């Protein structure tokens, strides 16, 4: 799991949190760790204390690829209002992330399932090329890179299997409004599988097995959407790593497990809900998705 | 099937159509007629010709409750731009509809499945109360009535079983943003079953059997969204009338048949696609919905 480890400050209609542990790599690693052993690649500053490292250690996440350097850890602050489908970024401080270009530890080089969280596509490609034994590589990106470094993003996309991206970004990347046609165009750029995240409306998977659409889980309260997309991707990749099989049936189950993890992530601020899950709760919500979607069984 | 028969003028990014047969009652009747015998209640002017009447007759739709009066038929013109999720109304002429308050023909009074299309709630209630043998009464409404005649709408809702409404309207009617909580509040107003239409994101059913969420069918082209909601409701009620059983399993299948009919409706302007369907196409798309949604079967 590659991406940022960050300190997030978040405000939503339900309250606020200051400088809590977050970042794509953190959400990816924590959610995937409920399914399979996880290795994390990121850079942190000397403001990251033992109590933060313990979050990874407690989940048995391998931190050999977590580079500690002098300076401050990446910081993001944002707020959610109205339908909470999109954050308004108030401030981004790249800090130690600015100079990050990791050489992976030898112990990581046999990794078979790789997810490149939302960072500079050149950095995603740099990591991806070190992982020559990867069976499945996923990538997340965002409007910032689609507009800012389209060529770099296309080079990275040419070398991955799965793109996980939100609806607006899929339209922006392809220049096509119709999602089915947008998906066809994007799949020609490299990834055979495309997962389009639709926020409160769920997720649609486009793959060689056809199209699969899953709703979001109806929740009583969505307190903090931060990390929902990364939690989806972590659950999705973690489940596939556990299954070890890339059939369409397993891809669909992975979409549901990803949706399960995203639904837990948003119930509370930051990582709180994700850290005190139980396998039983995860299975119960998976069954909840069956009850929510099945007809004519 | 109660509602307006109208002449629609529609402009979308795919083209335009002028004065084509439309209106809630028409879409409801035509789509339901693929599943069960249909009776229609509406008023039309003397500008409605034999060629328009033939649309009903060809589908064996009972027009005993179609009142012909002097004057012009209801007319609506609108356009769809951007994501085409909502029409911008350019003009509405109520015409003969303004004075409509039907006494149903005797031959209609044993109707068991009733759908009250989007018209003045007082008129919906006036019709509903004549149908004392109804087993299942559905109702559609819109922002215009939610804002304009909230008390009249609540009186009508108290006497129906199913409300079919779109997402924004569900939030407006309940005053609650969270859809799960909005649904709970709305179900306390009368309808035990609530269907929330989410446009290109599908449909969510809230009933005694729990929550069921179905995606919209991914289409290559959405040429004209006019009538999508009514086509959903027509397919939904038509299927329930055919099944004759109001179990949760049948309600879920009805949601899918409604979604099937809506997906056909939007493929072409006006009624075109709905009039040249075949039962085989309907079944094939129903199977398409299974392929789109099933996992862990």
Q: Are B212 and B181 in contact (CB under 8 A)?
A: no
What interface predicted TM-score (ipTM) does this complex get?
0.91
> What is the chain A residue with the closest CA to B292?
A212
Element (DSSP H or E) covering residue A165: strand A162-166
Q: Are B7 and B74 in contact (CB under 8 A)?
A: yes
Beta-ladder partners of A62: A39
pLDDT in tens, B226-271: 999 999 999 999 999 999 999 999 999 999 999 999 999 999 999 9
pLDDT in tens, A26-59: 999 999 999 999 999 999 999 999 999 999 999 9
Q: How far is A210 from chain B (nearest CA, A)?
A: 8
Q: Are A140 and A162 in contact (CB under 8 A)?
A: no
pLDDT in tens, A94-111: 999 888 899 999 999 999
Amino acid B297: pLDDT: 67
Confidence of residue A296 (pLDDT cuts 50, 70, 90): confident
Provide the percentage of residues in chain B whose pLDDT is more than 70: 100
Contacts of A253 in chain B (CB under 8 A): 295-296
Confidence of residue A297 (pLDDT cuts 50, 70, 90): low
- Are the Cβ atoms of A213 and B177 closer than 8 angstroms? no
At a CB cut-off of 8 Å and minimum separation 6, what does B160 contact?
B116, B128, B137, B138, B139, B190, B191
Residue B92 DSSP SS3: strand
Q: Please, what's the b/e burial string for B109-125 (b: 16 or more CB within 10 A of its CB; e: otherwise)?
A: eebebbbbbbbbbebbb
pTM, 2 dp: 0.94
Distance CA B23, CA B35 (A): 20
Of A210, A211, A293, the CB nearest to B213: A293
pLDDT at residue B38 tops 70 = yes
- Are the Cβ atoms of A83 and B177 closer than 8 angstroms? yes
What are φ and ψ of residue B76, in 5° steps? -135, 135
Amino acid A73: pLDDT: 96
Q: Are B70 and B45 in contact (CB under 8 A)?
A: yes
Q: How far is B98 from chain A (nearest CA, A)?
A: 37
Provide the percentage of residues in chain B whose pLDDT is more than 90: 95
pLDDT in tens, B105-121: 999 999 999 999 999 99
Residue A135 DSSP SS3: coil
Of B179, B256, B292, the CB nearest to A213: B292
- Are the Cβ atoms of A291 and B210 closer than 8 angstroms? yes
- Rounded mean pLDDT of B41-63? 97
Contacts of B221 in chain A (CB under 8 A): 178
Amino acid B125: pLDDT: 97
Please, how many CA atoms are within 13 Å of residue B237, restricted to the half-sphere of its CB? 36
pLDDT in tens, B121-150: 999 999 999 999 999 999 999 999 999 999
Q: Are A63 and A283 in contact (CB under 8 A)?
A: no
A·B CB contacts under 8 A? 93
Distance CA A105, CA A257 (A): 29
Which residues of chain B are at the A interface, by a Cβ-Cβ cutoff of 8 Å? 83, 177-181, 198, 201-202, 204, 210-215, 218-222, 249, 252-253, 255-256, 290-297
Amino acid B87: pLDDT: 87
Q: Locate A256 and state its tokens.
A: 């549901």
């Amino acid at each position: 799991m590659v991406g940022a480890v960050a300190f997030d400050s978040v405000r939503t209609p339900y309250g606020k949190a200051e400088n809590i542990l977050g970042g794509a790599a953190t959400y990816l690693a924590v959610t995937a760790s409920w399914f399979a052993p996880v290795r994390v690649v990121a850079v942190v500053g000397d403001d990251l204390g033992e109590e933060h490292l313990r979050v990874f250690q407690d989940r048995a996440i391998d931190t050999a690829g977590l580079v500690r350097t002098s300076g401050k850890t990446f910081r993001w602050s944002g707020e959610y209002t109205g339908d909470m489908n999109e954050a308004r970024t108030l401030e981004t401080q790249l800090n130690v992330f600015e100079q990050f270009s990791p050489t992976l530890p030898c112990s990581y080089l046999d990794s078979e399932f790789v997810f490149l969280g939302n960072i500079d596509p050149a950095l995603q490609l740099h990591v991806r090329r070190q992982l020559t034994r990867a069976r499945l590589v996923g990538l997340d990106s965002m409007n910032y890179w689609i507009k800012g470094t389209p060529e770099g993003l296309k080079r990275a996309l040419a070398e991955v299997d799965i793109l996980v991206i939100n609806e607006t970004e899929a339209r922006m990347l392809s220049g096509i409004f119709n999602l089915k046609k947008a998906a066809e165009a994007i799949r020609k750029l490299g990834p055979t599988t495309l997962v389009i995240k639709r926020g409160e409306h769920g997720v649609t998977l486009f793959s060689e097995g056809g199209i699969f659409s899953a709703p979001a889980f109806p929740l009583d309260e969505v307190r903090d959407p931060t990390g929902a997309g990364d939690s989806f991707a972590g659950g999705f990749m973690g489940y596939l790593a556990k299954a070890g099989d890339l059939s369409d049936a397993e891809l669909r189950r992975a979409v549901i497990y990803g949706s399960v993890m995203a639904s837990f992530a948003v119930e509370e601020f930051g990582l709180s809900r994700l850290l005190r899950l139980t396998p039983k709760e995860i299975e119960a919500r998976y069954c909840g998705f069956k009850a929510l979607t099945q007809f004519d069984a």
